[in-house]
Structure formats: C-alpha cells, structure tokens
Amino acid sequence: MNLTKLSDEQLLQLIARRNADAFETLYDRHAQVVHNLILRIVGERRATEELVQEAFWQVWQKAGDFRGDGAGAAWLYRVARNRGLDRLRQRTARPKTVALELEDSPRLFAYGQLPSVETTVERSWQQQQVRESLASIPDDQRVILELAYFEGMTQSEIAEHLSLPIGTIKSRIRLGVEKLERLLVATGLRRGDV
C-alpha cells in the first residue's frame, strides 16, 4: 500500500492502530511546517528540535483522540502549537533578559548599527502580542494564516495541503486577518503598525 497517497486523516487512523509507516509518512509530510511553527512561537532553535519530537510523540500517543471533525493537519498543528505555547509559558513564568538574536539580524552588523535596548524591547513586546493574538484566533483560521504569512504558501498550495476548497481558504484568511487586526489594535498597537 502506498501510504503517500493517503490523506492526513487516514494516516492518523492508521497511527492510532500503531502503524509506524503511517507515522513516518505523516512526519515526512509535516515535519518542516511543525518545525517552523514551533520555532516562530519559542524563538529558540535549540528548543525547537526537542519540541518537534515531543509534538510528534504526542501525535503517536494520542492519534486515537483525533475524531475527524476537521483537517488532520490542523489537529497536528494544534498539537505542535500547544507544545510551543507550553514552553513559552514556562519561560515567561521565569524572568528573563531580552536578547537580540544576532544570527537572525546579520544585516544590522553590515551597516554597523545595532538596535537600541528600547527598540529591542518594543520589538519583543510586539512579537509577543502577535503570538498571543494568533493563539486566540480559531484554529481553522490561524493555521491558514500561519501557512500563508509565515510559511509563504500560496492560497492554492494551502488548499491542496489542507484538502480544502480555495474559497474556504480565502474566506478564512479574510476573517482571520480581520480578527487579528482587531486583537492587535486592542493591545495598543496603532492600526498603521498592524
């Protein structure tokens, strides 16, 4: 049986029956998106790999909990997102210093400019507001926004990836962006900054 032709939902059914090949197929199909999603949430490359493994281990353990009332990929991404948010909550429960991720900002060094502490703190606060606002958007809209804006997928690619009609993708993006904008403005960001 060629497992690569099966849907995510069918793979999850097989995983619930402890089919390791189905698990490997699901992992190969979604590991990169899960990695990018968790990295975006926790912002630490070292922790991301560990959390990716934890998220897929949870999928292996809890695949039987998937009821098929939504897209299998959305369920998987929710599991991964929750792992990332749990780590973020643990980290924010302890005081920490704001650190500039130098590896992500090489262009600053090219011009001999580093952001001020105020700019770094402001940027960190804005990123936190975006993370929290995204977390409060319904999963079906949030997953599509993340795929579009963070993974760079086109609407057609998202529709194919999630096995949903293109019209559904467009309406969920529109609704999600509207909700995200309202939430971010409510946190104090200016409408022009959103």
Structural domain boundaries in the chain:
1-96, 103-194
The model's pLDDT over 69-111, given as tens digits with 9 standing for 90+, comes to 667 777 888 888 888 887 777 766 554 444 444 444 444 444 4
Residue 165 CA to residue 161 CA, distance in Å, equals 11
pTM score:
0.50
Rg (CA), the chain: 18
Assigned fold of 1-96? Rna Polymerase Sigma Factor; Chain: A (1.10.1740)
**Contact predicate 79/15, CB 8 Å:** no
Instruction: Let me know how long the chain is.
Output: 194
Question: Six-digit token pair at 194?
Answer: 């959103």
The pLDDT tens digits of the residues spanning 143-179 come to 888 888 777 788 888 888 888 899 999 998 899 888 8
Are residues 159 and 166 in contact, defined by beta-carbon separation less than 8 angstroms?
yes
For 76, the token pair is: 């998987």
Domain 103-194: CATH class, spelled out = mainly alpha
